Amino acid sequence: MNSFLRRIDQWRLVLDPGAVPGMAVPGLIFADDYIESILKGEDVLSQVANVARLPGIVGYSMAMPDIHQGYGFPIGGVAAFDVSGGIISPGGVGYDISCGVRLLASKIPAEEFRPNADRVLAALFSAVPCGVGSVKDSLGVKELDRILEEGAVRVVRSGRGTEGDIRRTEEGGCLVGAEPGAVSPRAKERGKGQLGTLGSGNHFIEVQETEELFLPEKAASMGLSKGCIAVMIHCGSRGLGHQVCDDYLKVMRGAMTKYGIAVPDRQLCCAPVDSPEGRQYLGAMKAAANFAAANRQAIAEAVRDVFAGFFPGEKLTTVYDV
């Protein structure tokens, strides 16, 4: 594998076709010498090569500098597929569909926050349950379907948030074309009590201080002020998204024979984008992405409630959510 890897400049490596049989395009890895030294002991290059074998891949099987071994696809992997004749793979989208971040800016000076830090953090832990299986109030079937269809918009229109939140959320907080009916009852069972919960793993709520502004005017337009605190929220579609991925890995596995697709790793299971299975997965995936956006909106509101108790009158405005 390593003999097919060559450096083209200080920041990029190319994995030539031939590294594994059937690569339709080269691999392109954004890595300096240090990252390259880490890669050579890992199976992750095989994952980059395996993605390059998938039908309809365009350009390169790419990997960003955070590359490390994932599930079928490498973490940090990026691949584009031709909608005409190309495939869609739940493994490529990943288990935590639309895992993302939201940044909330404030005018609360960090020095005013610090004496309250312990109490604020305790209140945040109480207001936003964390850990796998953490739950809040359970949603009814109809309300969950509306969340899956409308995303963060549904939360805001229910009185939890502002139109500004929506304007500063990717895709306006709602992916058009979501199909709640394509999400399994099992996934909905997992998700119905998880709106407004953080989950586990690398998900977090972090209270940060803006120490330096490199572009003060642009920072001001985003509501960021030097010396003030900001809150970063990182989470996604929780158990609902995981279940969507798990469900459709099984669907795609069954569909591959039908479409004459063979993959070297079952986590690369896929179907043509423009097939009944592909379209159904897209509808479910968009619904899970909407759940993730709604989840971050609900968490943002819980965070605002906590801060309102300690810093009355101070607002936490959304810088961006993606």
Partner 1 sequence: MAWRLLEHTADAGFEAEADTLAEVFLDAAEAFLFLAAGLTPGDFPGSGEKSELFLSSPDGEELAVSWLNELLFMAETRSVFFLPVKVTVSLSPPAIAASGRTVPLNGRVLSVKAATYGGLVLRTSPRPFLRMILDL
Residue 87 CB, nearest approach to partner 1 (Å)? 18
Three-state SS across 139-186?
CCHHHHHHHHHHCHHHHHHCCCCCHHHHHCEHHHHCCCCCCHHHCCHH
Half-sphere exposure of 151 (CA within 13 A, CB side): 29
CA separation for the pair 40, 52 (Å, rounded): 19
Whichever of 136 and 279 has its CB closer to partner 1, that residue is 136
Residue 161 CB, nearest approach to partner 1 (Å)? 26
Whichever of 40 and 218 has its CB closer to partner 1, that residue is 40
Whichever of 74 and 278 has its CB closer to partner 1, that residue is 74
**Which of 165, 156, 205, 203 minimizes the C-alpha distance to 321?**
165
Residue 134 CB, nearest approach to partner 1 (Å)? 7
Whichever of 55 and 70 has its CB closer to partner 1, that residue is 70
Whichever of 200 and 221 has its CB closer to partner 1, that residue is 200
Residues that bind partner 1 (CB under 8 A): 42, 68-72, 75, 95-96, 130-135, 186, 189-190, 193, 199-201, 239, 242-243, 246, 249-250, 253, 265-267
Residue 295 CB, nearest approach to partner 1 (Å)? 14
Whole-number Cα distances in Å, 227 to 88, 208, 321? 45, 10, 22
**Which of 231, 235, 242 minimizes the C-alpha distance to 129?**
235
